[in-house]
A and B are shown apart, each in its own frame.
Chain A
Amino acid sequence: MYWEKDIETASRQTLSQLQFSRLRETLTQLSHKSEFYQKKFREQGVTVDSIRSLDDVRRLPFTTSADLRAQYPDKLNIVDKDHLLRLHTSSGTTGKPKALFFSRKDIEILTNNFARCLTMVGCTPKDVFQNMMTYGLFTGALMSHYGAERVGMLAIPAGPGNSERQLMLMQDFGTTVAHATPSYALYFANFVEKKGLDPAKDISLRILLVGAESYTEETRRKIEKTFDADVFNCYGLSEMGGPGVGFECTAKNGIHLWEDTYLIEIIDPKTLEVLPPGEVGELVITSINREAMPILRYRTGDLTRIIPEPCPCGRTHIRVDRLKGRADDMIIVKGANIYPQQIERVLMKTEGVGRNYLIHLQGLDEMIIKVELDANAFDGQVSKLESMQKSITERIRAEVQVKPVVELLAPGTLPVSEGKTKRVIDNRSL
């Protein structure tokens, strides 16, 4: 199903022409109105006229998360305050947040893009959409809420947490589509089971939109099996307008990024050179259809690769692989570079492992992995737990070259936060 078939399946040539004209328009606006970019253009020796093709985008300056913080509160906004409709912020763990402004046209484009995403995965006006994301300064909930209403779905602004109420809403109003983080989806499944209900049978979810945290294919399968529903990976970031930057289609093989709105590059995070299609690097996004706050070559910190092959769904917009985590997610333990997702992959493939885990670094470079048990697989035998513990230890050692200490915990004992779940706690005294 398409929301806007013409644009979603447009030829490469049509898309490129559209992208180029929108890029030029963006650059023109910035060169007139943005002190921040005027300065960057001068430093880089770039003029609007010198950008003659899409390839020239690599001559433009990068924008980083630190730039956004430094321009707080409103120095990146280029329209009059009268034209602004909404402010969101992207939470910083330290210091000031990033302030993000949206005009009426910006909200309209993002709403429409999210409606495209929902239609792409099979949502229709008949569906009931329960939004378990945080409403507020975070873009995730409001933007998807608007998108759901645009499609014509009944939208329930449930917000996160309060599992008792989530379950009640789902049962009483027949929710068919939910939007959640992977960690909350799994936590909620535990809650439903504790009530003596089966998440696969006793609630009518058929689609889960899962995003805001990166997660592995193994976790997707676990969520799908638990709820007997399709899970689609969503990609977004507040800096680029929130949750609908890209979505998986029903092929579940890569995330389509909307190229009429964004220009996509993959760069080598060390040399900053653009990488050829297919190579893994940092995703860099330029907004080319944004009024209040266009951002050039934003370094997302997310690692992925472009999937060069055409998608069987017929959409021509570029696909990127499931995100491999953020470049800054990487931890170094005993000299080994480790991505938490490597550990997650091992855990989620292991029979008897539950739904939540935590990587705890402590002492002098010790890695402790706390793993919740699957209540249904527990059979009361100590020997089985011991062999599971041993097998996880060995397989993680094989995967990351560091031997962890694996601790088993009762189901539902690890904390689940309402926003992004913290998978790594570093208390090392190095």
Chain B
Amino acid sequence: MSNNLTESKETEVKLLSVFAENKPGVLAKATQALAEAQVSILWFKIIDGAGDKYGIIRFLVDHTQEGIAALKNSGFAIATSPILAVVADDNPGSLSKLTAALYEGKVDIRNGSGYYLNRRVVLIIETQQMEAARTILNQLGYKILTSAEIKALSNKKCS
């Protein structure tokens, strides 16, 4: 499989952002909604809002559309934002090499995170300059996952 320079909307990887009041049981309710819809969570993070009264929970899931529907049906306000899911080696200097390249290409990373997958790392990169970042990473030979690939990889991650 090769990465196209411009991903179509369908193959673009998206994070789900869920508005969450800071009270007991909200995270449990959101994850239960995903569980009941058989949607697998690959990564999540809680971002605190001002005053500790609310936050935003961000999820990367295997089945995005099903995840959106499940959360909406449970009454959550949700939004999606496109990200780049980049496969990198798990060794010293790997992240440094990647961020240096993006810095040189004047790509501003708004949010970054990552998770392990089969002894490698999937980096989650959020930027306003998606196309520039994609071009740079492609030139350096990084694998940028499509939503279909994320789905496929997560299904066999235990093998």
- Give me the interface of A with B, judged by CB distance under 8 Å: 194, 196, 373-375, 378-382, 385-386, 389, 405, 407-413
B residues 49-83 in Cβ contact with A at 8 Å: 49-51, 53-56, 58, 72-73, 75-81
Q: Are A380 and B56 in contact (CB under 8 A)?
A: yes
Q: Are B49 and A409 in contact (CB under 8 A)?
A: no
The answer to the question of B35 belonging to the interface, with a C-beta cut-off of 8 Å to chain A, is no
Q: What's the Cα separation between A381 and B56 when bound, in Å?
A: 8
Q: Are A382 and B47 in contact (CB under 8 A)?
A: yes
Q: What's the Cα separation between A409 and B20 when bound, in Å?
A: 8
Q: Are A385 and B54 in contact (CB under 8 A)?
A: yes
Other than the given A373-B19, A386-B50, A409-B21, 13 more pairs (CB < 8 A) read A194-B72, A378-B19, A378-B77, A378-B79, A380-B56, A380-B80, A380-B81, A381-B17, A382-B47, A389-B51, A407-B51, A410-B19, A412-B75
- Give me the interface of B with A, judged by CB distance under 8 Å: 15, 17, 19-21, 47-51, 53-56, 58, 72-73, 75-81
Q: What's the Cα separation between A379 and B17 when bound, in Å?
A: 8
Q: What's the Cα separation between A311 and B62 when bound, in Å?
A: 61
Q: Tell me the interface secondary structure of chain B in the complex.
A: strand
Q: What's the Cα separation between A386 and B53 when bound, in Å?
A: 11
Closest-CB distance, A302 to chain B (whole angstroms):
35
Nearest neighbor of B56 in chain A, beta-carbon distance:
A382
* Interchain CB contact (< 8 A) of A410 among B15, B21, B49, B73: B21
* Interchain CB contact (< 8 A) of B75 among A196, A382, A389, A411: A411
Closest-CB distance, B23 to chain A (whole angstroms):
10
Q: Are A410 and B58 in contact (CB under 8 A)?
A: no
Q: Return 30 A-B CB contacts under 8 Å, by A number.
A: A194-B72, A194-B73, A196-B72, A374-B77, A375-B72, A375-B78, A378-B79, A380-B15, A380-B17, A380-B58, A380-B79, A380-B81, A382-B47, A382-B48, A382-B49, A382-B55, A385-B49, A385-B50, A385-B56, A389-B49, A407-B51, A407-B54, A408-B19, A408-B49, A408-B53, A410-B20, A410-B21, A410-B76, A411-B75, A411-B77
Q: What's the Cα separation between A374 and B78 when bound, in Å?
A: 10
Closest-CB distance, B108 to chain A (whole angstroms):
15
Q: Which residues of A contact B58 (CB under 8 A)?
A: 380
